Structures are given as structure tokens and as C-alpha cells.
Amino acid sequence: MCGIVGIVAGRDVAPLLLESLKRLEYRGYDSAGMAVLRNGAIERVRAEGKIVRLEERLAQTQLPGHTGIAHTRWATHGRPSERNAHPIMTSRVALVHNGIIENFAELQAEQGSVAYESDTDTESVAQLLTQYLEQGKSIEEAMPLVMDRIRGAFALAILIAGRPDILVAARRGSPLAIGYGEGEMYVGSDALALVPFTNRLCYLEEDDWVILHRDRAEIYNQGRLVNREIVYSMLSGAITGKDGYRHFMMKEIAEQSVVLGDALASAIDPASRQVALPGLDIDWKNIPRISMIGCGTAYLAGAVAKYWFERLASLPVDTEIASEYRYRQGPVDPQALAIVISQSGETIDSLAALRYARGKGQRIVGLLNNPESTIARESDAVLPVHAGPEIGVASTKAFTAQLLALLILAIQAGRARGTINAATETALVSALIEVPAQIAALVQRREEFATLAHALRDSQHALYLGRGLSYPLALEGALKLKELSYIHAEGYPAGEMKHGPIALIDETMPVIVLAPEDEWLEKTLANIQEVRARSGRAICFTSAQGARRLGDGVEHIVMPDVHPWVSPLLYAVPIQLVAYEAAVARGTDVDQPRNLAKSVTVE
């Protein structure tokens, strides 16, 4: 989603801004732009599409200047186009924005005859600030007025014409970090954008606004100068590469065996085959229930974990789609533990749900891939999933790393609550130890999944079915297929098919069934027969034994034998490979599917 960056320095900033923008590219965007102050005048270059197009424009139109801002835009108000790309300019300012200005229409109406150059909500802020500056107000006077007038979520970086010595920034709702360099200062949407230049960062708090000079940051909140702690980022300034893979997504699928192996090593004792999760102090015995909160794939990791916590730890779990949770206003048990799951740690819906849960008195554990994120900072405790940078918009290794962390946590809870015995724990941990090698072997069989995906490439629709732990995984399979290949797909509990979706079954509808060797297998096999009886095309992922029981004519891929309660970690991989290969076969943009963003920072 939108990424912003700004630099005030003693050298030309355009190349630095470009480098930083490239590091924000993973968030997803549809246009990009940059502006600098040259002899006090604002100059700007924008382009629709990828950053490479902006780079081409910059090769034709140099932007010399020591103070500048840049932006990747993910359209909310106004279609993706050069006209709506940021920076948005007026006679006095250039401004980049991440978020949504909710009262833009009201502001625009108040501004009367002012001619807008774009269709964006952002322009209402640029025009408002311009109005105050034209009334003769100083920046220090104008910014608090602007902050008072605008509603919604925003991170802003602003150039002021005639003031090449400063950069102004502000935040509410959307994250913003300040970077402290040697004689230059930076501002950016996340640490990744800034660490090529400095590891000394400070994260602005709600309603902070700041004037950046080359040597300092003056941070204001509610009319007062405030101090914010400077922290040292552990993130690497090196650009993450594809390591010879065609797409980040395939690289990240392949990395799962190593990621899970490393994560396991830090969470179990291989000698005793028991869970040994350091540093998380949770009073499992006295927790009445869990609220499992997330969006998209992160939510689905929580939906799988519901089965684990309920069965292994006898702990009821409410799975909560973050964007619904706080608005539903249902009864919330303050004694319940809230587990907020997020790869980025910046998803605004999840952050808002976290704040809602905290407001209701719940303790928050953040299950996160980015421990330097806003959700990490606002959680009571953080359980890092250690998947490493995930650049592909589709979540793959973060998902399986989330699953692993949640299963480990459920085992820990079960042991503490006395609902599993040592033998069960040993069996589960032993099964987990096999998983990294099993995933590596599955990735080696990529061709089988490519063949299957090729056969799907002309389908308009597909169904994913599963029971028990495989039901949320079926939802994930459908989500992956649609977001990557744009084939419309639905996930269903296999037993629910006969209550509606069975009407869709004909010879053109592929039905992908997840059928590991578990307590639900018998019933799932019966559902496959129901598909077959209606001339449907069933494709089944199952064990060798399950495959023998399928009967003739059911396409299948034989999966490694795996403990039933560990199966989601393994069955997640074929659904990723099928979606990936289908996307490649259909020629879609695998790493940045249309309309999607990696970090969803608007509601």
C-alpha cells in the first residue's frame, strides 16, 4: 500500500529517494512520483505504473535538489493515473500521503472555487495547508490547524516552496519513522525504506508532526515539543534478491523448509522432543478463551489454530476477522487472551482490532513476522515467527511460520493445562521435526503441481474442499488461487458442499480436495464421490493410503505421510504451488497481483 519517503540532506536526494522507493515496492502500488526543492522551487516527476517508469522519466528530467519527497501510490480515491499520483502540488506545497482523509469532501466544499489538480482525497490537505500559508501563517502555526481539521488516517511528508532547508511530516493512524543520519535526516513509511541510510530510527506517535532539518527533528504533539526515543533497527540495508528464482514467491515457497527448520530449532528441545519456547510468559491455566485476530491469510492461520487450541489445550477460540471485530461490538471477555496475527505488523484493520481488544481489557500477544512494526510496539508480548522478509504479495512462508508458531503455542498451552500428556507432545514434536525435509521434497516435485495448474489455467472457477484442520486450509487454497491467478475460487467445508455449492458441480468445475490421513478422511472421501457422481472433476491431495481408497478416475497427488495434527504445515505447500503455477501459466503478475498491496494500511 502507499509508501512515503522524504530526505533533507546536503547532496542531491533523487537517487536516494529512488533507492528507498524500491524498498517500499513490496507494499504494492500503481503509480509513483517524486518532488524536490530546487532553489526553493518545487519540481516534480510522476508516472503511472511501476517504479521503473518513474526511473525512465527521471533519466529524461533530472531532479537536482537537496530536499525531496517520493511516493508509491495504491489508489483509494481517484483511479490509478499520473494525474492522481503523488506528490500532489499546489502553489505552496508538495505533499505525499499514505492513508485516507475521511472528510475530504467537506474540506473541498469549504475551499469553494479552488481548482483541484487531482481526484484524490489527499489534495484536500495540500489545499488546506496552502490556504493557511497564504493567510501568512508560519509552518508552526499552520500544521496544528491542519491536524485539527483533517479526519482519518494519514502519514504525510511535505515540501514547502521557498524552504529548501526543511521537510515537514505528520502521522495519525498510518505508521511513520524518522531516520537520523550524519548531517541528513529521513522520514519513511517503514524501517525498510530507511535502513540503507541509517539504523537510528524513531517511530512517531499518534498525532505527532515534525519539522526535519539536516541535523535534527523538532517533533510536536498537541502544541508542545516532545522527545521520542531513538531505537536501533536490526533490519538489513541490503536489498533482498530473488536468488536466481523467477519470482520472489517461488523463492519464498522454497525457503519454507529452512525457515521452519530454523524456527523449530528455537522452539523445541530435540533431545526430549518437548516444546521449549523461551520468553513468553502466559498464564495458560487461567485464560478462559482466546480471541484469534487477523486479516486474509493471517486470519486463516488463526482459523487453523482454533482446532489446535480447542483440541490440544481445551481452550475455546473465537476467530475474529479484524475488520469486523471492533465494529461488531459483541461481548468481549477481558480475561481472554488476544492473539493478533500479522506478517507485516502494519495492517491497519488488525491494529485497530488490537486497540479495541486492549480497550476491553484483553492482554495482547502479537504473532508477527516484523518485530519492528506498529503492532509489535503496541502488543504486550511478541512472538516472532522468524520467516524473514516476505516480498511476494501472497503470503507463503509467513503463513507456514505462523502455523508452526501457533501449533507450538497450542502444545505449550496443552501441557500447562494438563490436557495433553508427554507422549502426545513427543509425537507432535517428532512429527514437526520431519516437516522441513518433507517440504523440501514437495518443492522438488514442483513439476507435478505445474502440470495440474496448467490443466486449471482455462477454468473460470474452482472449489477447494476440506474438513477439520483442512477446512481453513481450503479457504487459504481458494484465497491463494484467486489472488494470484484471478481464477474465481471458493473454499468450503467438504460436508457443507451438499448444502449449496453442489449446484455448481459439472465437468467444467475443478474441485480440489485436501484429504490428509486424519479422522475426517472417511467422510471427505464420500464427498469426493458426490462430486464424481455429478460428473465433477475432483483433484485430491492425499496420502498414499488415501489415494488407494479414492477409486478410479479421481486425479490425485500423493502427499507424504504426516501426523494428522501437523498436516496443515505440509498441505499448505501444494496449495501455494498450484496457485503459483496457475498464475505463471496465465501470465499474471505473480509478485504483485493487480489491485493488491502487501501492507494494507487503510481500512
Query: Using CB under 6 A as the criterion, which residues of the chain lie in contact with ligand M6R when the complex forms?
Result: 295-298, 342-344, 347, 350, 393-395, 483, 596, 600
In the complex with ligand M6R, which residue's Cβ is closer, 202 or 393? 393
In whole angstroms, give the CA distance from residue 248 to residue 303. Answer: 26
137 as an active site residue: the answer is no
Least distance in Å: CB of 476 to ligand M6R?
8
| Set of cell numbers at residue 303 | 482459523
Decide if 2 is catalytic.
Answer: yes
Q: What is the DSSP string of 532-586?
A: HHTT-EEEEEE-HHHHHTS-TT-EEEEPPP--TTTHHHHHHHHHHHHHHHHHHHH
Closest distance to ligand M6R from the beta carbon of 521 (Å): 27
Tell the smallest beta-carbon distance from residue 480 to ligand M6R (Å): 6
Q: Which is nearer to ligand M6R, 529 or 595 (CB)?
A: 595
Let me know: does 201 contact 231? Beta carbons within 8 Å.
yes
Pick between residue 343 and residue 400 the one whose CB is nearest to ligand M6R.
Answer: 343
Q: Quick one: 293 or 512, whose CB is closer to ligand M6R?
A: 293
| Distance of closest approach, residue 325 Cβ to ligand M6R, in angstroms | 14
d(CA 343, CA 364): 16
Which residue, 185 or 514, has its beta carbon nearer to ligand M6R? 514
Give Cβ neighbours of residue 3 (< 8 Å, ≥ 6 apart). 21, 24, 25, 27, 29, 71, 72, 98, 188, 189, 190, 193
Which H or E run contains 380?
A: none
Closest residue to ligand M6R, based on beta-carbon distance? 296
In the set 397, 480, 482, 598, the catalytic residue is 598
The DSSP string of 247-258 is SHHHHHHHTHHH
Based on CB atoms, which residue is closest to ligand M6R, 185 or 478?
478
Q: Which residues contact 571 (CB under 8 A, 6 or more apart)?
A: 470, 473, 514, 516, 541, 559
Selected catalytic residue, list 2, 202, 295, 540: 2
Least Å from the CB of residue 342 to ligand M6R: 3
Is the Cβ–Cβ distance between 403 and 270 less than 8 Å?
A: no
Q: Nearest distance from residue 395's CB to ligand M6R, in Å?
A: 4
Q: Which residues of 73-112 are buried (b: 16+ CB within 10 A; e: fewer)?
A: bbbbbbebbbebbbbbbbebbbbbbbbbbeebeebbeebe
Percent composition of the chain: helix, strand, coil (DSSP 3-state, to 5): 40, 25, 35
Q: CB of residue 483 vs ligand M6R: minimum separation in angstroms?
A: 6
CB atoms within 10 A of CB 37: 26
Q: Which is nearer to ligand M6R, 274 or 323 (CB)?
A: 323
Q: Where are the strands (E) in 381-444, listed by range?
A: 381-384
Q: Which residues are catalytic?
A: 2, 598
